[in-house]
Amino acid sequence: MAIVACLLLPVVGLLLYGMDRVEDWLTRPPRPPRHGAARHGAARHLRLIRGGGQAAGARARTARRSADAA
């Protein structure tokens, strides 16, 4: 039984160390965004429709104006 305990001791030590690192990783505040991200197009990577940025907003305003006029 003492042999099993001695063999499990390093495993438990690694487990405690790993859980400490994970806890520190989960509780730290988020990092501020990098300044070069917008320059390389990373800020626009979620647009799924080509030209859907300002053109879609302009179409929605036009549709609201025509609905108000009717």
pLDDT of residue 31: 81
**What SS3 class is residue 10?**
helix
pLDDT of res. 18: 97
Q: What is the pTM of this model?
A: 0.43
Is 90 exceeded by the pLDDT of residue 21?
yes
Q: What is the pLDDT of residues 24-52, one digit of tens each?
A: 999 998 888 776 555 555 555 666 766 66
In contact, 51 and 45? CB cutoff 8 Å: no
